[in-house]
Structure 1
Amino acid sequence: MHRHEARNLHYDLRIEAGGVLACWAVPKGFSYLPADKRLAVRTEDHPLEYESFEGSIPKGQYGAGTMRIWDAGTYEVRKAKGIAQALEKGELKLELRGRRLRGEWHLVRTRQEQGKNWLLFKARDRYAGSGSDLFAGADMSRAVQKPLPRRLTRMEAEAGEKPFDDPDWLFEPAFPGRRVLARVEDTQVSLQAGAEDLSGRLPAITKALAGVRARTALLDGILVALDSGGRPSEQALTQELEQGGAAGSTGSGVVLYLFDLLYAEDWDLRGLPLRERKAALRGLLPDSGRLQLLEPVAERGQALASAAGESGLAAIVAKRAGSAYRAGVSKDWLRIPVSAAPKGAKAEPARRRKAADALPVAISNPRKVYWPEQGYTKSDLVGYYDQVAGFLLPYLRDRPLHLYRWPDGVRGKSFYQKQLPEELLSQLATVDVARDGEEPVLYAMCNDRQALLTLVNSGSIDLHPWFSHQGSLDSPDWAVLDLDPKEAPFSSVIKIARQAGRLLRGLGLEPYLKTSGSTGLHVYLPLKPGYTFEQSRMFCEAVARLLVRDHADIATVERAVSRREGRVYIDFMQNRREQTVVPPYVVRPVEAASVSMPLEWDELETDFRLADFTLLTSPKRLERVGDLFRTALSRPQDLAPAIEALGRQL
């Protein structure tokens, strides 16, 4: 399966048949929902060499654009003697075994367009569900293809001392219960608790595990039962196990909280970072009340510890987000005791507790309305930033910061501020941004949650960090194209963003996309150290001018609004020292209270609106998709080969 950015983005499904590749163009991609019938247009056969092709097809040639392998694997024909017979009949039932696409898929020829139009849809099997990627976008590149291990030693937590906050760690409540390894092999399910298999005593959970969206899987989790007060209880679990775990027995029944995925389908996932294993786990779980994903809390160990103590739990578990799954006791997992609630305090049921509790700053004027139309207050804004701090702080840390302060909300007066007053600056980490030989000039930085909430409490709705960081202020970490519509239709912004992504991928780069949170879109490139602002600006200018050359009817590099004539302004001038673009996840001072939100490139093909991502809705999206920019932080890119390739195009 190729992801093909030609005139329009589509996917090319290629099936080896009779010494060639039978091909279909799939404009809207794949869906695991059987009810979604996707158009698949039969195209000409391709030579087998196309199976491994990735790169750019020059303009003017057939299929001009950028092609990347989106998925690859093997297939087996169902209910036909072979692929030739199925093609002739016009009905293919294929068992696909890729990394993204698994299970049975159907291709059925229609009478439209002389039989060129086919319908592609998912069969109703164990893989059917939601999404277009079985593993929910997890980076599976480090997964190793090998048989399901017959024996395995669990990873165990080392004893920790006290709760802490750290953006590189995830935190989970340590529920009292029984740790189990759940093994799924087709219809066979086991629940291994040490030497004992509990599957026979827990038929409801065993049945739910049989519905996992994988033929083979190995999952790590803990069996939990709630007492009559809604709190996890080992006594309630023991009673449930003695009575067979059936619904309706004493307590509320047994639930299996799953927190790790060690193996799925053909792949050993133990070498993947924990955050990727959790993403894959989220994609495989069926909709079942008996199976629950144990959602971690990012960064905020102290808040979770406080909530856990009030709920009557004895400990939390801290896990390094980038850690592999290793046998035995590991320093990457820490079991940390928590303080119990004071005597006489009423503990809330665990199922109703949330981790967000006391803020590390006192909010001034918390009821002041910042967004009159929605009624959102200053307290709502501070609460949002408290929720997303773990996602936002990596894009702020160690960077000089400009503030855009709106002390009376979005309909009040506002002002930019680079050098903060002493009473505010004294509460923050600072960096001297003066050039050599100049008098010191101190700018604030936002390096932790308390600093973030202090700045928001001061009236700053969004934040504007530099493209460079402390210790390397003259060398940018990002190159950015700001697509500003002003009077242009947003459909033109989407088209230019799509073409920018296609062009940059054709140059061998991996661009990232986000909304501006206001009216446009931002295209980001993470840069390897050593480039100057002049080099990044010149590269972005060349890209912008190439886009304008090919799309002069809807794009311009004209800075004067009066001369843009309804075209999208491709702004490359922000790539300078001291210039800023808002980072991901900040709220913008606009009437919709919208958020600058990272996007999957394929989302450009959907009917999304900028107003879909707001102060209210964005935390839920982050719970679902995570930080789509996270790989940019660890994968800086080299511009030199791209500059050479760009020169050839110019």
Structure 2
Amino acid sequence: MATLETYRQKRNFGATSEPKGRKARKAGNAFVIQKHAATRLHYDLRLEMDGVMKSWAVTKGPSLVPGEKRLAVHVEDHPLEYNEFEGTIPKGEYGGGTVIIWDRGTWNPIHDGRKGYAKGRLEFELIGEKLSGRWHLVKMHGKPSEKRENWLLIKGEDDAARMAGGPDILEERPESVKTGREIEEVAGEAPGWSSKTGKIAKSAARIPTQSVKRDESEVLVELPDPSSVKGAKKAPLPDFVEPTFASLMTAPPTGDRWIHEIKFDGYRLQARIEAGRVKLLTRSGLDWTRKFGKEVMSALQALPIGTALIDGELVVETGSGASDFSALQADLSAGRSDRFAFYVFDLLYLDGYDLRALPLVERKTMLEQIVGTEPGLVRYSGHFDENGGLVLRHACRLSLEGVISKLRDGPYRSGRSKAWVKSKCSARQEFVIAGYVPSSTSRKAIGSLVLGVYDDGKLEHVGRVGTGFTGAVAEALFKRLDRMRIAASPFADKLTAEEARLARYVRPELVAEVEFRAWTADGHLRHASFRGLREDKPASEIVREIPKSKTATPKPQKRIVTLTHPDRIYWPDEGVTKEGLADYYTEVWRYIAPYIVGRPLALLRCPSGITGQMFFQKHAWKGLNKHIVLVNDPKDKDDEPLISINDLNGLMGLVQSAVLEIHPWGSTVADWDRPDTIIMDLDPGGGVAWETIITAAEEVRQRLKDAGLTAFVKTSGGKGLHVVAPLKPKADWPAVKAFTKAIADSMAADSPDQYVSTITKSRRQGKILIDYLRNQRGMTAVAPYSTRARPGAAVSMPLAWEELSPGVGPDYFTVDNTPTRIAALTSDPWEQFRAEAKPLAASAGRKRKAG
């Protein structure tokens, strides 16, 4: 029940000018964050709900780093009038100290806000002058004797988030959004004085502005006035400006001269706006206005400007929050536009003035003022001011495409430029389609594309790409390419017999974007995956892109298993083929090997992919590949042999047999009855928030630590998390099962509203099953790095504990993006897994929950 009784009891309104307030009758959605220099500096977050401001004291202030938890102590409700309070509370009074309005705006609950607040899991979006995007408030479960109600404030993973090590918003923007002053300037003054003076401009402001209303709201925003900007040149609006293109480098440049932006994976577009009319032009000047639907046009028309030329990139953002060119292609083909986002990163022209001669940071400041920080369809692309290498490492660990680095004071110059450089997380570029190989499983689809690049006007063969095609795309490409067939090879040099095998040649007019791991010694692509057609680029411009300061690429693992029907699609919506799965496992072999070699395996086989029949198998089958090993369980000598592997070719034999999930025992074939691994599977029922699963994993970690064990964590690739601990194989299976059951039962007893330890589905709604039953002889759990036979082609990914965050869900990592993460890792998060193995103590598992 919302009430102001506690608020009023704590204050002497004869001594303080804080508002007495009253509960509002009408519902609203305002938020305010007040910076409060009381006994200790903190930030008060207030969200309007039921006529009052629900309030939390955030001890260290909000952080823009996803997953970084900030303690938020729930305090008494405040009146709506408190949103305007800025000044000094007298010493000796409750909360004595100086208060400024650090941020304000509106908030929107993602789900039912009242229910989320009541349950202690509130997910919402902020639209403020400093903060925006998704946020989480998660209630902690303290001891019954605790008087304080502690919550955690956590930033969600979105375009408003920042990398760890980036600028701190609290240091970057210390001022009041109401008066422009910092807290030291307000201290000691009569309360309310600054609220009557209006906003005080900062002396460091560089861009002349004008105040206007944004849309139909009453919120005043500051817009740039180009007529007063030094360097802006009065000129007519150009029809088109050739874009600046970035040069490829292996690593971002260093130094204060550079800023760094996240590289998007979409279509580069120039938005030309003139008197309400909008055109979207490709990098070569083609008019693609109608290609992207009315929503994009309407969003650009709504910007508070008359004429403009804006450089940006239109993308589709998937559930993981990353832009995905393949998903963009699929949405365009399906006529879908609900996932579009147009990120803008440069302003070339505004309201009668050419801005290209201005320094980049001034152009970006003006652009940010125009677009704002609301996460709408048109979004401002922010940047990082320092440590481009750190930005790139974080981008790659999250499987993003890479980083664009730009000279902060550089003008806008058309063409390929050294003032803009790109550093990619994986090799990717465009290639000319010179032919195709028909599918071995369908008469109306392609199996692979034959690719080339131009070198001094001559078309050079670079190999094939045979994965990344959905069934629909493979059929559409066949239909289109079959009409373009020619009799002779378009390559300048004759192909070898192997290169020409089954190839049908076409006119070299279409361009494909392809991601690949590296170039082979003979100049061919290795582990290539199709991303889509690039109809915005002419084939004649496609050349081999080799980054400067190129380092040697590692030699691929040796594979000798022949795959039949390598173009058979296992994950239709993602276009992952048998060949693509083999490439994935070759890429991660050195990481997955310690967890699957020399162990009995249970396998999920899907001969027709994830849409067909599925069955678990642990015994031999007809036609078993010779590299797969048969092992005999010493306790079941009369039973059929079990399956095991010893090397990469054994794993390739599993791929050939359509094995899409690998589930090893927790013991080896050298010591069947003494497990060397514990696994606790946290399996959420319906309605359980991801943050709650993370909290559960951390509790399991602590309980294992209390028992003398070291815990590691991985995503399941499904719905939950697996907490895993290595053991020195001394205890037997019954002892390990008893130990894990004690942990599960204890957690369920301590927090019955959160956890259950029995598998009955009727008891699991809104709770997490602590599944310990995998810790018994013959039971298995999915291996680290194993794929899952589910839509999305997710994998079970080992993580460092600090990587757990709201932005990295249980199925975030996939066959598609895991190799990028692997390449970016400076160290394996599970590198010390076996080194941390400890014996199971006799008394372990019986401790109660730690406070």
TM-score by length of 2: 0.38
Larger radius of gyration: 2
* TM-score using structure 1 length: 0.49
